[in-house]
């Protein structure tokens, strides 16, 4: 339901070209906000443009585009109610295999880009008493095999969110983290394609060590995505974080995320290793070794 006050407020959503970001932009517009929706291509802008949704060209790793967004917000008489940091890339590969330039790209998009946008828009958020919604992941709490770069950036985003919350909550700005599990979007599909491309560049020795692991992880990712939350359902969690009067510091999105967040703290590192390895083992190709790389060997 729209309120007269919400129609006077802006929300910025980054990474709104498709998936959860696009759904969040539409859901927030439906609730009466004017949404500045960050996209990187004209065709995505054309598909997203609607009442209450204004696409803006935004690559969060490009300082000129971040500055243009900040200027657009500053020129608008409406208060900035929320920034939803949703842009991201998923890159999965063993630590040994992933080139350093890919590590840097993942951190640029999944961490430093969010910091850049947050820094640029914090003055407007401070004036309005708004809030920052950082889209993290269950990977921001628990890192599975091949998730080193992605989880590393998300772990860092969780830490930055905690630090930022403690800095700006006394100033009237709330900081909220949303931790999705599997979401039925193209995000994981693109991640699988990237993983396969990186696997194709492995040396024969690396392929012997990690080939089965990569294939098993891709199968697990596809399975989790197929049974995951819809983008629209995830967007409603984001909208709750944006609109509820007293938001929690963290929200999960999806049953798998809620389960892992409850189960994880109850297990030791070794016990959690065994749980994750057993879940992954079901997806290993028949010709590959049964024990996933990195899993603790059984002791007789």
- CATH at residue 111: 3.40.50.720
Interatomic CA distance for residues 237 and 206, integer angstroms: 40
Which tens digits make up the pLDDT trace of 83-142?
A: 999 999 999 999 999 999 999 999 999 999 999 999 999 999 999 999 999 999 999 999
Determine, yes or no, domain membership for 293.
Answer: no
pTM over 0.75: yes
Tokens of 19: 């998936």
What is the rounded (10 degree) CA torsion for 51, 52, 54, 58? -140
Q: Is residue 168 part of a domain?
A: yes
Q: Look at residue 78 and tell me if it is in a domain.
A: yes
> Where in the sequence is the domain holding 67, given as residue range(s)?
6-184+230-266
Q: What is the DSSP letter of 183?
A: E
Check residue 185 and give its pLDDT: 72
Catalytic residue among 147, 150, 210, 251: 150
Q: For the chain, how many structural domains are there in total?
A: 1
Within a domain: residue 148?
yes
pLDDT in tens, 74-90: 999 999 999 999 999 99
10 Å Cβ neighbour count for 72?
Answer: 15
Residue 101 covered by a domain? yes
- Average confidence (pLDDT) over 246-269: 90
Alpha helices in the chain (DSSP H): 19-30, 42-48, 63-74, 100-107, 113-128, 148-168, 186-200, 204-226, 231-243, 255-263, 269-281
Active site residue 210: no
Indicate the angle between helix axes 148-168 and 113-128, nearest 10 degrees: 20
Q: Is residue 281 part of a domain?
A: no
Flag whether 277 is in a domain: no
Q: Is residue 205 part of a domain?
A: no
């Amino acid at each position: 339901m729209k309120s007269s006050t919400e129609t006077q407020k802006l929300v910025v959503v980054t990474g709104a070209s498709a998936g959860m970001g696009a759904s969040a932009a539409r859901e927030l517009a439906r609730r009466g906000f004017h949404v500045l929706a960050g996209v990187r291509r004209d065709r995505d802008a054309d598909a997203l443009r609607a009442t209450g949704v204004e696409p803006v060209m935004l690559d969060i790793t490009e300082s000129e585009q971040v500055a243009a967004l900040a200027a657009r917000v500053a020129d608008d008489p409406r208060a900035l109610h929320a920034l939803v940091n949703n842009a991201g890339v998923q890159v999965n590969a063993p630590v040994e295999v992933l080139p350093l330039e890919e590590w840097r790209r993942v951190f640029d998009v999944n961490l430093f880009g969010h910091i850049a946008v947050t820094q640029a828009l914090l003055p407007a958020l401070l004036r309005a008493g708004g809030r920052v919604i950082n889209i993290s992941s269950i990977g921001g709490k628990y890192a599975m095999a091949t998730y080193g770069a992605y989880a590393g950036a998300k772990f860092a985003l969780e830490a930055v969110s905690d630090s930022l919350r403690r800095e700006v909550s006394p100033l009237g700005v709330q900081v909220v983290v949303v931790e999705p599990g599997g979401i039925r979007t193209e995000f994981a599909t693109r991640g699988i394609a990237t993983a396969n491309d990186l696997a194709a560049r492995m040396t024969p020795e690396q392929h012997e060590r990690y080939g089965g692991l990569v294939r098993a992880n891709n199968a697990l990712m596809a399975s989790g995505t197929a049974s995951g939350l819809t983008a629209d359902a995830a967007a409603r969690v984001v909208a709750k974080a944006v609109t509820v009067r007293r938001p929690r510091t963290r929200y999960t999105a999806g049953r798998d995320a809620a389960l892992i967040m409850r189960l994880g703290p109850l297990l030791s590192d070794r016990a959690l290793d065994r749980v994750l390895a057993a879940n992954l083992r079901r997806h290993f190709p028949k010709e590959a070794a049964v024990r996933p790389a990195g899993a603790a060997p059984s002791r007789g």
